[in-house]
Amino acid sequence: MTEKLLQFIWQFQYFNKDSLVTTSGDSLCILHPGKWNTQQGPDFDEGKIKLGNTTWAGTIEVHIKSSDWKRHGHQHDVRYQKVILHVVWQNDDPIQDSHGNKVPTLELATRVSNLLLNQYESWMQNPQALACSSAITKLPDLVWTNWKEKLLVERLMQKHERIERHLKKTNNHWEEVLWRMLCRYFGGSTNATSFEQIAESLPLGILAKYKTQIHQLEALLLGQAGLLHKNLQDDYARLLYREYQHLQQKYGLRVINLPPAFLRMRPGNFPTVRLAQLAMLLQQSQRLFAHILECEKLGQLRELLAVTANDYWHYRYKMDEPSDYRPKTLGADMIDILLINAIVPVLFAYGNTHKMEGLKQKALRWLEEIPAETNQAILPYKQYGIVASKAYDTQALLQLRKQYCDARRCLQCMVGNALLRQGRHQAQV
């Protein structure tokens, strides 16, 4: 038994409530278990019980052993003066409040289903990625539908926190925030931080001055990445280097401190190629954030993002290293990554900040139109028959895996909750 599990059992009243009595022999009726308090102080606020013929309202404290009350020093803490009930797994030491009065105590060790306890214990000991793997297929689709929606919104709200940090740095400039988020995910998992630093070092105010000049946009992006140097040999690369030298001095630019990596990367994902594509997106798009707000059809955004780097890159993946002809067009998979991780979260965050429910719903709808991602983290769910046919599903499952399954937060998971509830009902049959 753990205190978290006991709190969970009390919160959802997963115990036998027939003929309840306190450890002192007084009849007890639970009118309301209270609201779980995640801050300091007693575990549950606004509880309500009937003790004998008297109704009491106040806070409720939960411990494994009643002696934990003294061990935690609650007898000297004013926040525990309004505790109306002490819920324990084992009553090993009758306690008193700060006024010397006995605190009514309820012992639960004999009132909780062994099936529920065994189920939880097996999850905590399960070495597999999904603790509940043996029972996960038993849940009705409705549970998954409701939980996936909550998980998806939770994931978008977490991304909102990153967006909020950028808003503070940019004085609430949403177009600038979108630029930073797009740049981050152009870098992929390997170079996300490097590309985000590039975006932070190059405000849109500077880039807008060179919107019609692709070579200067490339010079700024590649130069800030530390990819331009005096030893470059081919003419275009040397031109970019000279342009960057001029622009760096003009704007007092500093090369980022985390150069992008090339190691163990497919040539199409090389940072040189991605930065060249990013430069073309800057040149071809106008008022991108406003366009996203106004756009209803996802296909229009896909067309806008399907940029091709300039002709120089048709024959190169890296400067000074010629290769076979291949236009460097941003592929469908990469476009989906940008939509899922940058555009949809910024749109959702804007709708949430400005209380525009329509924009939030549009963001969720777009995720339902984007194909499911391929991600190793969600393969265990697929193995157990959990369907993920769109990005809406995969983003929810990623949140479930990272925030609940990996951390074994089964008690806070709607799936875990439903399975434990099933076990409790089976024990009562």
Q: Answer yes or no: are the C-beta atoms of 11 and 30 closer than 8 Å.
A: no
Tell me if 337 is assigned to some domain: no
Q: In the prediction, which pLDDT does 99 show?
A: 62
- The DSSP symbol for 260 reads P
Q: Which residues fall within 8 angstroms of residue 128, CB to CB, at 6 or more apart?
A: 380
Tell me if 353 is assigned to some domain: no
My answer on whether 125 and 97 are in the same domain is no
Rg (CA), the chain: 29
My answer on whether 139 and 282 are in the same domain is no
Tell me if 80 is assigned to some domain: yes
My answer on whether 211 and 139 are in the same domain is no
My answer on whether 108 and 119 are in the same domain is no
Tell me if 42 is assigned to some domain: yes
My answer on whether 99 and 235 are in the same domain is no
Q: Which helix (H) or strand (E) holds 35?
A: strand 35-36
The closest of 376, 400, 421, 428 to 11, measured between CA atoms, is 421
My answer on whether 274 and 307 are in the same domain is yes
β-bridge mates for residue 102, sequence order: 96
**Strand, coil or helix: 105:** strand
Q: Which residues fall within 8 angstroms of residue 14, CB to CB, at 6 or more apart?
A: 8, 112, 113, 116, 420, 421, 424
Q: In the prediction, which pLDDT does 427 show?
A: 43
- Other CB atoms within 10 Å distance of the CB of residue 73: 9
User: For residue 43, which phi and psi values (nearest 5 degrees)?
Assistant: -70, -30
Q: In the prediction, which pLDDT does 96 show?
A: 67
My answer on whether 283 and 153 are in the same domain is no
Tell me if 364 is assigned to some domain: no
- pTM across the whole model: 0.83
Q: In the prediction, which pLDDT does 259 show?
A: 94
Tell me if 263 is assigned to some domain: yes
Q: Which of 278, 307, 331 is the last residue of a domain?
A: 331
Q: In the prediction, which pLDDT does 383 show?
A: 86
For residue 219, give its domain range: 175-331
Please state, in angstroms and as integers, the Cα–Cα distance from residue 414 to each residue in 58, 333, 408, following that order.
28, 31, 13
Burial of 85 (0-12, 13-18, 19+ CB in 10 A): buried
Tell me if 297 is assigned to some domain: yes
My answer on whether 180 and 300 are in the same domain is yes
Please state, in angstroms and as integers, the Cα–Cα distance from residue 132 to each residue in 202, 360, 382, 394, 399, following that order.
47, 32, 14, 19, 16
Q: Which of 76, 94, 112 is the last residue of a domain?
A: 112
Tell me if 149 is assigned to some domain: yes
User: For residue 266, which phi and psi values (nearest 5 degrees)?
Assistant: -65, 140
My answer on whether 96 and 140 are in the same domain is no
Q: Answer yes or no: are the C-beta atoms of 130 and 380 closer than 8 Å.
A: yes
Q: In the prediction, which pLDDT does 233 show?
A: 92
My answer on whether 28 and 119 are in the same domain is no
Which regions of the chain are under pLDDT 50?
426-429
How many Å apart are CA 326 and CA 317, to the nearest integer?
Answer: 9
My answer on whether 192 and 316 are in the same domain is yes
The total of structural domains in the chain comes to 3
My answer on whether 29 and 128 are in the same domain is no
